[in-house]
């Protein structure tokens, strides 16, 4: 697919530039061969390239004229860009460095305003211009009559305050290549000794950066050494480049609803704007989700820190800078008016009683394992905030019995919802107890807290924070005691770990006029019991490596993981068992299934890491875990690669039926974990 191929070349260059610090100048190339279907008639086609520039108000746009009256370049200044220069280089024939003949027109006037620009241009077009290449017959073309003289410019000029509008038009025969160079004032100053970064100089620079990127990529991830094909290596390079290209700096205020102390209270409290904050973060998708997501970011940084630990320290520092006085961080960072305009109203307000999986501790754990002095120095500074954040999570999400935990913020029971969502868990519509209540015990949350306690104890001990280590040590030990985990979450009747709550399976959506699909509850009536929803949540003690390699519970979890009737698919582990009554079910008339069967890369990455872990530890399941790791890795990597080859995109999630990409795309967030899966870096 031409679009996908061009995109892959671009992301590779982006990655090289991001990594190696390419010059802050840009060159756009337009090659007329792209999209040509009949090369035999190329010489008979006359093409017109129009390059419009428009500035508002007092911003400056100044054409610079050459000796023959032609436009050399356009200088300008805006408050946002500072000084800049646009240069349209002479067009060339493909494969030739010599200039190609072109006819030039320019139109320069005051800016009539964006709604009128098209009409102004159309009203000025004239067909009496002629294109006369040497030795060829002339052809008429539509052109813009104009001049590079502006008698009224200056302090008393007629156009003062209106802004300016300039169009450069080039008419020439195809095929051709053309470069438009944008240079900031600072880039021009830096490049004076080297010359303009364009033409062959740009090509050489890009080739040099690309080669440096490839060498560094192989040194970091060793995909070639592991025997992966050139095409698979290209997938890994695109995954990394897209993730790095999505890192951005955001600043603004978010809407926050403070704690009203009583969950489910009818008391109405208006959300307030949080004080302005900066955030340096990666994003799941630049086009669809261009903002920070707390639990996504931990997965993002697992990839980023392998490439550039400094970027990860900066990102984690910014996220920890969002803590409020209680230790809470909002799960979605919708900062500023522009960001809020792009987000549905139901996701705008962040509630200070709602948590999110503490995945930022995943890169923290990797830092502890690596022992980089710069990482340890960062962690020493960050420890008070990490401690406050974990303490808030442990205390605010406490469950109904000791050492149990419950996600605050489940949706209320509504007549249109099959199963009230649990957005704070990150697993959105994954089935929970059919009737939300304060009696619920959520398995995944307990496992996240257990992992957090383990990481925080190790961190406190390594940093010499003896008081914190003494405080957290007993909690971590209790949370890792398998007997307590069994007592709270092992469901003998299901043969797996499970949530607990007020639940019945006798819930379905039924068409009713005029409401549409309506939730109907039959018999048996809801009662306190383990929730029969085999899927990702059931695997969390395995996924987060909380079980001893000799645990009697490890075998049953491997059984359901490897069973195609349940979680195994040729494309990765499905999020909900095919045997579940909720599998593939809509949550409402307008809400298709999300975490109800699709294959998600972040959880499959955790599963690969766990299987690799248990496959290297002596125990009764060592050989089986190693074998499952090999098969699952082949399924996951192979499917992502095939879909990338077919579409040119990484996707939000993948179908467990045919492996096709689903959800939004491009999705260079946690789907970029495919790179670490290829590298077997867990």
Which residues are tagged catalytic?
428, 652
Cβ proximity of 494 and 530 under 8 Å:
yes
Taking each helix axis from N to C end, the angle separating 294-307 and 361-370, rounded to the nearest 10 degrees, works out to: 30
Three state DSSP letters for 101-151: CCEEEEEEEECCCHHHHHHHHHHHCEEEEEECCCCCCCEEEEECCCCCCCC
Query: What number of other Cβ atoms are within 10 A of residue 40's Cβ?
Result: 6
Query: What number of other Cβ atoms are within 10 A of residue 573's Cβ?
Result: 25
Cβ proximity of 452 and 460 under 8 Å:
no
Residue 454, token pair as written in the block? 């383990």
Total residue count of the chain as it appears in this document: 682
Read off φ and ψ for residue 518, nearest 5 degrees.
-130, 140
Half-sphere exposure in the Cβ direction for 583 (13 Å, CA): 20
CA dist., res. 534 & res. 579, Å (int):
8
CA dist., res. 279 & res. 317, Å (int):
9
Map residue 470 onto helix, strand or coil: helix
Q: What is the separation, in whole angstroms, between the first and last Cα of the chain?
A: 33
Peptide bond between residue 198 and the one before it cis (omega within 30 degrees of 0): no
Q: What angle do CA 281, 602, 13 make, to 5 degrees?
A: 55
Q: Which residue has the tokens 């192989």?
A: 218
Taking each helix axis from N to C end, the angle separating 443-463 and 482-489, rounded to the nearest 10 degrees, works out to: 160
Cβ proximity of 301 and 316 under 8 Å:
yes
Q: What angle do CA 432, 434, 436 make, to 5 degrees?
A: 80
Cβ proximity of 414 and 391 under 8 Å:
no
Half-sphere exposure in the Cβ direction for 4 (13 Å, CA): 14
Q: Which residue has the tokens 């390594």?
A: 462
460: CB partners within 8 A, 6+ apart: 383, 387, 466, 468, 469, 472
Q: Is the dihedral of CA 144, 150, 152, 155 positive or negative?
A: positive
Q: What angle do CA 326, 329, 332 make, to 5 degrees?
A: 150
Longest dimension (CA), the chain: 91
**DSSP secondary structure string for all residues of 19-35:** HHT--SEEEEEEETTTT
């Amino acid at each position: 697919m031409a679009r996908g191929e061009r995109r892959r070349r671009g992301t590779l260059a982006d990655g090289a530039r991001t990594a190696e610090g390419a010059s802050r100048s840009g060159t756009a190339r337009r090659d007329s061969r792209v999209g040509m279907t009949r090369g035999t008639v190329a010489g008979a086609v006359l093409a017109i390239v129009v390059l419009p520039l428009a500035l508002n108000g007092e911003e400056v746009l100044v054409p610079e004229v050459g000796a023959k009256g032609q436009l050399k370049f356009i200088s300008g200044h805006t408050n946002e860009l500072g000084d800049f220069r646009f240069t349209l280089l002479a067009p060339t024939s493909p494969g030739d460095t010599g200039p190609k003949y072109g006819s030039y027109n320019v139109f320069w006037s005051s800016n009539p305003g964006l709604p009128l620009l098209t009409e102004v241009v159309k009203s000025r077009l004239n067909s009496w211009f002629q294109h006369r290449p040497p030795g060829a017959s002339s052809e008429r073309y539509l052109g813009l009559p104009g001049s590079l003289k502006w008698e009224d410019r200056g302090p008393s000029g007629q156009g003062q305050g209106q802004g300016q509008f300039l169009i450069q038009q080039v008419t020439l025969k195809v095929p051709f290549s053309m470069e438009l160079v944008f240079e900031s004032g600072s880039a021009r100053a830096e490049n004076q000794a080297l010359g303009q970064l364009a033409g062959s100089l740009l090509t050489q620079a890009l080739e040099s950066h690309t080669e440096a990127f490839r060498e560094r990529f192989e040194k970091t991830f060793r995909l070639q050494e592991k025997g992966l094909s050139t095409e698979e290596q290209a997938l890994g390079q695109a995954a990394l480049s897209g993730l790095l290209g999505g890192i951005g700096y955001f600043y603004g205020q978010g809407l926050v609803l403070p704690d009203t102390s009583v969950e489910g209270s009818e008391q109405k409290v208006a959300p307030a704007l949080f004080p302005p904050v900066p955030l340096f973060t990666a994003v799941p998708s630049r086009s669809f989700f261009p903002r920070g997501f707390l639990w996504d970011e931990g997965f993002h940084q697992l990839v980023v820190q392998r490439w550039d630990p400094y970027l990860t320290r900066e990102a984690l520092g910014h996220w920890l800078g969002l803590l409020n006085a209680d230790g809470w961080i909002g799960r979605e960072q919708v900062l500023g008016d522009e960001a809020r305009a792009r987000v549905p109203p139901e996701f705008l307000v962040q509630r200070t009683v709602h948590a999110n999986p503490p995945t930022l501790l995943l890169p923290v754990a990797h830092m502890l394992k690596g022992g980089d002095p710069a990482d340890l120095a960062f962690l020493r500074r960050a420890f008070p905030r990490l401690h406050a954040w974990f303490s808030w999570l442990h205390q605010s999400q406490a469950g109904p019995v000791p050492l149990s935990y419950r996600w605050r913020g489940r949706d209320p029971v509504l007549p249109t919802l099959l199963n009230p969502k649990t957005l704070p868990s990150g697993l959105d519509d994954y089935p929970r107890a059919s009737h939300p209540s304060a009696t619920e015990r959520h398995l995944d949350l307990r496992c996240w807290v257990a992992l957090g306690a383990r990481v925080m104890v190790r961190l406190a001990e390594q940093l010499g924070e003896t008081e914190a280590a003494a405080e957290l040590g007993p909690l971590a030990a209790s949370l890792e005691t398998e007997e307590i985990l069994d007592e709270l979450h092992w469901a003998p009747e299901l043969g797996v770990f499970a949530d607990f709550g007020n639940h019945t399976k006798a819930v379905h959506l039924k068409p009713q006029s005029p409401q549409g699909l309506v939730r109907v509850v039959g018999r048996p009536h809801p009662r306190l019991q383990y929730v029969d929803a085999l899927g990702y949540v059931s695997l969390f003690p395995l996924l987060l490596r909380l079980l001893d390699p000799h645990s009697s519970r490890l075998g049953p979890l491997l059984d359901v993981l490897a069973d195609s009737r349940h979680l195994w698919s040729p494309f990765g582990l499905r999020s909900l068992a095919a045997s579940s009554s909720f599998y593939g079910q809509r949550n409402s008339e307008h809400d298709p299934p999300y975490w109800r069967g699709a294959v998600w890369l972040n959880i499959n990455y955790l599963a690969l890491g766990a299987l690799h872990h248990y496959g290297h530890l002596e125990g009764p399941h060592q050989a089986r875990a190693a074998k499952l790791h090999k098969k699952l890795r082949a399924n996951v990597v192979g499917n992502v690669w095939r879909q990338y080859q077919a579409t040119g995109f990484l996707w939000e999630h993948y179908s467990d039926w045919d492996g096709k990409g689903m959800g939004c795309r491009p999705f260079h967030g946690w789907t970029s974990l495919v790179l670490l899966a290829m590298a077997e870096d867990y």
